[in-house]
Amino acid sequence: MPPLDEFGRIRAWTEGRQSKKWMVEAGVTLGIGDDAAVVAGGTSATEWLLAMDTMVEEVHFLDATMSESDVGYKALAANISDIAAMGGTPKFALVSVSVPPAWNAERMKLLFDGLYECADKYQVAVIGGDTTSAPSHLVVAVTLMGFVEAGKAVRRDGARPGQSVFLTGPTGLSAGGLHGLLNNIGSIPARLAQAHQRPSPSVKAGRLLLETGWAASLNDVSDGVASEAWEIAEASGVRLLLKETLLPISGELASYALEHGIQPLDLVLYGGEDYVLLGTVDKQHEHSMKDRFRREGIPLFIIGEVEAGEPGVAIQSASGKVKPMDKRGYNHFSKG
Amino acid sequence: MPPLDEFGRIRAWTEGRQSKKWMVEAGVTLGIGDDAAVVAGGTSATEWLLAMDTMVEEVHFLDATMSESDVGYKALAANISDIAAMGGTPKFALVSVSVPPAWNAERMKLLFDGLYECADKYQVAVIGGDTTSAPSHLVVAVTLMGFVEAGKAVRRDGARPGQSVFLTGPTGLSAGGLHGLLNNIGSIPARLAQAHQRPSPSVKAGRLLLETGWAASLNDVSDGVASEAWEIAEASGVRLLLKETLLPISGELASYALEHGIQPLDLVLYGGEDYVLLGTVDKQHEHSMKDRFRREGIPLFIIGEVEAGEPGVAIQSASGKVKPMDKRGYNHFSKG
């Protein structure tokens, strides 16, 4: 066991990070330091959203790809993205860390620096924690509670034939950044590295989609466009047809891919952790949606349509040829 | 990565385990399978309790000490105990598993068998999950939500000089069981092995203590009596004096310890994971409390008293000699 006991460690990493006054205003009756945290019960007009997402060293990150504070930041950001994908507002987080000997107190402090930076940015109160030792590789599990108007959470099973498929930002940037970091390429565009290390969950877009009621189905792109589209297709019992010419590819990614001999489309479709939102919308709302997103400064791309048929996902190339799209998701360090 | 994708695996381990009808009645709007689970918002008369507790292979369990289903059972039971220690009722669980190659689909199914056995016993709805691969050693992190009457959660900072210290059951049984399992002793009394592998969180005792208002402070004995007493002492700013002659030692533990040359007091004070409750009560309530606990069939032992003074814990031997008690907690596989 590391020298500090469990509470000593959790205290050293969390104490005084968020003011008591702010916590009380956020609905926290009792935070870190007892058997359980206590939070306000809510009202019958709201429902609670609960997400839990875990990052494992050697599976999701390496020393070469993420700093300690990046790991903490992203562990929370990935959970915020899950709440955003339901149209909710993130609220309370609990953090469990399993700490191997290589992660000393100084490194863990940096991890929590990053986690609290993200928490403060998205107004999330960190209310609980658990820390254990581990034989090797760090594991960070985060649970996040968010709230949503009762009955309004945007699910992934609402896609219907005739709807359009949309994306709230370009994808593949995180995978591009990872490629550069793994291959020790010094000149990675900052936007790619940042997309991988400090992703921005789409809370604003999610709230807008819930409030307007425009999103019939919604997922966050944590595991790649292909995988998320498949999830919507299977949950909704429909076929999604994506159009290659409509897929947004950022300039930075395009130049980086060209320079390093990568197919950008691979990153755009199969790269994960961009944390933009993928969803479907009734055609009648498309115009108002584009207009409103432009005014709010949130990107919006229509990238395909929903068809009846065997659940699945296909992609149409510029030449009009349609081929089925693999279900496979994002695998950080695969050699395949 | 294991052959099944994340959702495939989670589905295989969780689908159909709890009926949809029961989930809806329990307040679950949307369970496993979307970005986040959705649960009822509650009322202003209740508060939510949130606990998160993690079990790590090689730190908390080995093949020799716990079966797969024991691991699943205990991972949830430990969290239920945290909710019990606040006087709450457990309600919704989320489970994150980081799965190394040695834990194949069959072993994981057994783990979830045990987890659901515990969930059903305590009426907990499993509403979310996350699964990742891992290079080695299994990690199971559980988050549990429970509810409590607003403003009533029993904290650890309410101990005051003049109160009595109580325990809702004997301790050291789990550590005794672990000793036998680790040393490959075939004749461990079933009660000791079961205390270690299938512990019983004290939900009924916790609810009774909350409803009667008798517990001024409360902890569950997850990390050993010494450690929990220290936590109450430090949180409350008081000194706890335990009396050796008042500490309950079960007959099974006493004979086992005698047979194997162990000091039972070491297990009773420094063995963890018995999940009984340790708390303090105003002397005026002691009589009614004993009476009520006897009628409910819950053990109750008064084991010491609260004094003013520098926060800490001391123990008085049968001869009247008082010595300070170490703060150290439970270390499963230490050689020290």
- Tell me: do B122 and B168 sit in the same domain: no
Confidence of residue A335 (pLDDT cuts 50, 70, 90): very low
3-state secondary structure of B110: helix
Tokens describing residue B332: 């499963």
For residue A64, pLDDT over 80 is answered with yes
Chain-chain contact of B94 with A50 (C-beta, under 8 angstroms): yes
Query: Would you say residue A336 has pLDDT above 50?
Result: no
Q: Are A92 and B50 an interchain contact pair (Cβ–Cβ within 8 Å)? A: yes
Average pLDDT in chain A: 93
Tens digits of per-residue pLDDT, A70-107? 999 999 999 999 999 999 999 999 999 999 999 999 99
B11, B132: one domain: yes
Cβ of B130 within 8 Å of Cβ of A223? The answer is no
Q: Check whether residue B20 and residue B128 sit in a common domain.
A: yes
A104 & A190 share domain: no
Question: What is the DSSP track for A22-36?
Answer: HHHHTTEEE-BTBSS
Write the CATH number for B229.
Answer: 3.90.650.10
How buried is A5 (Cβ within 10 angstroms: 0-12 exposed, 13-18 middle, 19+ buried)?
A: middle
In this predicted structure, which of A14-28, A267-281, A317-331, B249-263 has the lowest mean pLDDT? A14-28
Contacts A42 to B, Cβ<8 Å = 41-44, 48
Closest residue to A39, CB basis, from B47, B92, B155: B47
How many domains, in total, are found in chain A?
Answer: 2
Task: Quote the strand ranges of chain B, DSSP E.
Answer: 28-30, 37-40, 46-56, 89-99, 125-133, 139-149, 164-167, 215-220, 239-243, 277-281, 301-307, 312-316, 322-324
Instruction: Give the pair of three-digit tokens for residue A270.
Output: 């199969």
* Sequence-ordered list of residues with C-beta below 8 angstroms from that of A69, at least 6 positions apart, any chain: A110, A111, A113, A114, A117
CB contact under 8 A, A50 and B127: yes
Regarding whether A187 and A319 lie in a shared domain, the answer is yes
Looking at residue B7, its pLDDT comes to: 55
* CA distance, residue A325 to nearest chain B CA (Å): 16
- Tokens 């589209």, located at residue: A229
Give the residue from B149, B175, B190 where a domain finishes.
B149
In whole angstroms, what is the distance from residue A220 CA to residue A202 CA?
A: 8
Q: Which residue of A has its CA nearest to B84?
A: A35
In a domain, A311, yes or no: yes
| Within-domain flag for A157 | no
Answer yes or no: is B336 within a domain. Answer: no
In a domain, A104, yes or no: yes
Backbone angles phi, psi at B281, to 5 degrees: -140, 145
Same domain, B144 and B24: yes
Residue A65: the pLDDT is 96
Burial class (CB in 10 A: 0-12, 13-18, 19+), A144: buried
Please tell me the distance in Å from B183's CA to the nearest CA on chain A: 21
The predicted-structure confidence for A242-282, as pLDDT tens digits, reads as follows 999 999 999 999 999 999 999 999 999 999 999 999 999 99
Coil, helix or strand at residue B327: coil
Contacts of B56 in chain A (CB under 8 A): 98, 132-135
Q: Give the confidence band of A3 by pLDDT, cuts at 50, 70, 90.
A: very low
Q: What is the pLDDT of residue B6?
A: 56
Q: Residue B36's pLDDT is what? A: 86
Contact criterion met (CB < 8 Å) for A98 and B29: no
Tokens of B287: 């009589």
Question: CATH number of the domain that B51 lies in?
Answer: 3.30.1330.10
Residue with token string 């939900």 = B203
pLDDT digits (tens, 9 = 90+) for A279-293: 999 999 999 999 999
Same domain, A141 and A181: no
Question: Is there a single domain that holds both residue A10 and residue A143?
Answer: yes
Q: What is the pLDDT of residues A171-210, one digit of tens each?
A: 999 999 999 999 988 889 999 999 999 999 999 999 999 9
Local mean pLDDT, 10-residue blocks, chain B (336 residues): 53 83 86 84 87 96 97 98 96 95 94 96 92 96 94 95 98 97 91 97 98 97 96 97 97 95 94 97 97 97 98 97 89 63
Q: Domain residues for A82?
A: 6-149
Amino acid at the residue B250:
S
Helices A190-197 + A251-259 axis angle, to 10: 100
For residue B52, list chain A residues with Cβ-Cβ distance below 8 A: 94-96, 128-130, 141, 143
The candidate with the shortest Cα–Cα distance to B303, out of B247, B238, B232, B264, is B247
Higher pLDDT, B137 or A39: B137
Domain contains B218: yes
Residue A4: is its pLDDT beyond 80?
no
Considering the domain architecture, whether residues B129 and B170 belong to the same structural domain is answered as no
Higher pLDDT, A6 or B195: B195
Chosen domain end from A126, A149, A172 = A149
A133 and A96 belong to one structural domain: yes
- Does residue B110 belong to any structural domain of this protein? yes
What is the C-alpha to C-alpha distance for residues B233 and B278, in angstroms, rounded to an integer? 12
Number of other CB atoms surrounding residue B243 within 10 Å: 17
Q: Give the domain-ending residue among A122, A149, A176.
A: A149
Q: What is the pLDDT of residue A5?
A: 58
* pLDDT score for B201: 98
pLDDT above 50: residue A57: yes
Q: Hey, are the CB atoms on A134 and B59 less than 8 Å from each other?
A: yes
| DSSP codes, B7-47 | HHHHHHHHTTSS-HHHHHHTTEEE-BTBSSEEEE---TTEE
In a domain? residue B332: no
Do B185 and B108 share a structural domain? no
Whether residues B168 and B309 share a domain: the answer is yes
Residue A336 resides in a domain: no
Letter string b/e over residues A299-335, b meaning 16 or more CB atoms within 10 A of that residue's CB:
ebbbbbbbeeeeebbbbbeeeeeeeebebbbbebeee
Verify whether the Cβ–Cβ distance A29 to B44 is below 8 Å.
no
Q: Choose, out of B32, B34, B35, B94, the residue to mutate when testing the contact with A (most A CBs < 10 Å).
A: B35
